[in-house]
Copies of this chain bind each other. A is one copy, B any other.
Amino acid sequence: MRLEHLRAYPVSTGASRTAPAASTALDRWALRRIQQAVASAPIRFVLWDGFTLAPTDDLPVATILIRTRRALFAWLRNPDLNFGEAYMFSAVEVRGDLTALLEAVYRAMAEAPAPAWWQRPRANGERAARENVHRHYDLGNDFYRLWLDQELLYTCAYFPRPDAPLEAAQTAKMDLVCRKLWLRPGERVVEAGCGWGALALFMARRYGVRVRAFNVSTEQTAWARERARREGLAGQVEFVEDDYRQARGEFDAFVSVGMLEHVGLPDYQALGQVIARSLTRDGRALLHFIGRDRPAPLNPWIRKRIFPGAYPPSLREVCERVLEPQGFSVTDVENLRLHYARTLEHWLRRFEAAAPAVADMFDESFVRAWRLYLAGSRAAFTTGSMQLFQIVFARGGSNAVPWTRAAELRISN
């Protein structure tokens, strides 16, 4: 690192109302500690008075400006939580490409060993699950309509080609899920966590199945029911505003896209039990979820501000807690991590275009929080800090599984 002292650095805009005193030796020591934690990341750090730590060798990908002493020491104390807090409330500013900055941070952190003290799994009982969901998914359909695709799919898309439009990629994702589940007309499907209902309606319309779809979000369920009614699918798709654990009856397929992240490790066995009691003898199941290469905590700021109660599991944790206890047999796993990075690129672009409207709807700190969350997620998928797994499985010993992947990809051998 090369040390600079840039008196001319522009610090006049932003949150701090009174200019803080010039940085002290202690302030600069604190900044060096922060910089050392991501030593290999080419980032320029600047304090409120222009004091600068810059990378020696590389051009910086971005500059982080820390505006207040309070933000500096809060960051030092708990970087995982307080970088986000400070960014959200403009006590920290980023100049340059936010995603590139966060990618550099993820790569630098991957070189350091993960802390051992983190793992305190929390159970999400039905009440907690409801509260967690309400905090995120009931922000208002109007908000999500500003930057999601028109069908309001809020999960990883599948891009047949990297340059496919988002809408086409979301449709391709739904189709991929249906083909992996080997759906046939007249079959019964249960969906756990159905969002605004796009997949449930797609399965009914394109694959001729009957769907019972669970969701604890009031806003989403109302939207989905209205859409089913409008499209004449209300007789074929039933949207149930309830916890998926309330599902009763037998189904040919169980599907859950983007819900497992919100279940929490202690409830995995119960999820496995629900799937086991819901599937017919030759039923198939698909879980689509954000995961990890190995167990690691979700960033505490994301847990606090964006996804309370969320935890992305490793493949091993899902095998150990959901599948093995029920004797399920894994037939297929695919990792679509880079497709989620691309999905987030689309969302982020649309979100930025809608930022003024979002600020009117909430406030500037909300815009900043969501910008950080979307850019951080994109960086996590690009750098491999997070994965996107689709797991397909069946009852042990069921031979009613596709012979090869040819059907999944619609080719004939």
- Interface of A toward B, CB cutoff 8 Å: 107, 110, 158-162, 293-295, 314-316, 319-320, 323-325, 327-335, 337-338, 382-385, 387, 389, 396-399, 401, 403-406, 408-409, 411, 413
The answer to whether A320 and B324 touch (CB under 8 A), given A332-B334, A397-B384, A404-B160, is: no
A384 partner residues in chain B, CB cutoff 8 A: 329, 396-399
A406 partner residues in chain B, CB cutoff 8 A: 160, 409
Chain B nearest CB, measured from A413 CB (Å): 4
Q: Which 3 A-B pairs have the closest CB atoms?
A: A384-B397, A333-B333, A316-B319
Chain B nearest CB, measured from A329 CB (Å): 5
Q: In the assembly, how many copies of this chain are there?
A: 2
Whether A338 contacts B162 by the Cβ 8 Å rule is: no
The answer to whether A293 and B329 touch (CB under 8 A), given A314-B319, A409-B411, A411-B409, is: yes
A314 partner residues in chain B, CB cutoff 8 A: 319, 324
Q: In the complex the two chains form, what is the Cα distance from A260 to B215 in whole Å?
A: 42
Whether B293 contacts A413 by the Cβ 8 Å rule is: no
A110 partner residues in chain B, CB cutoff 8 A: 327, 396-397
Whether A387 contacts B319 by the Cβ 8 Å rule is: no
A319 partner residues in chain B, CB cutoff 8 A: 314-316, 319
Whether B320 contacts A329 by the Cβ 8 Å rule is: no
The answer to whether A387 and B329 touch (CB under 8 A), given A319-B316, A397-B107, A409-B409, is: yes
CB-CB nearest in chain B for A328: B293
Q: In the complex the two chains form, what is the Cα distance from A408 to B278 in whole Å?
A: 33
A399 partner residues in chain B, CB cutoff 8 A: 338, 382, 384
Told that A293-B323, A382-B399 touch, could you supply 18 new A-B pairs with CB distance under 8 A? Answer: A110-B327, A110-B397, A160-B404, A161-B403, A161-B413, A162-B403, A293-B328, A293-B329, A293-B396, A294-B324, A316-B320, A316-B323, A335-B401, A338-B399, A338-B401, A384-B398, A405-B408, A411-B411
A398 partner residues in chain B, CB cutoff 8 A: 384
CB-CB nearest in chain B for A385: B397
Interface hub of A158, A335, A387, A411 (most chain B Cβ within 10 A)? A335
CB-CB nearest in chain B for A413: B160
Chain B nearest CB, measured from A309 CB (Å): 24
Q: In the complex the two chains form, what is the Cα distance from A331 to B389 in whole Å?
A: 9
A404 partner residues in chain B, CB cutoff 8 A: 158, 160
A331 partner residues in chain B, CB cutoff 8 A: 334-335
Whether A335 contacts B324 by the Cβ 8 Å rule is: no
Whether B405 contacts A405 by the Cβ 8 Å rule is: yes
Chain B nearest CB, measured from A335 CB (Å): 5
Chain B nearest CB, measured from A337 CB (Å): 8
12 contacts across the A-B interface (CB closer than 8 A) = A110-B327, A110-B396, A161-B403, A293-B324, A294-B324, A295-B324, A316-B323, A330-B335, A338-B399, A384-B397, A405-B405, A406-B409
Interface hub of A107, A294, A334 (most chain B Cβ within 10 A)? A294
CB-CB nearest in chain B for A321: B316
Chain B nearest CB, measured from A175 CB (Å): 12
CB-CB nearest in chain B for A336: B404
Q: In the complex the two chains form, what is the Cα distance from A383 to B230 in whole Å?
A: 46
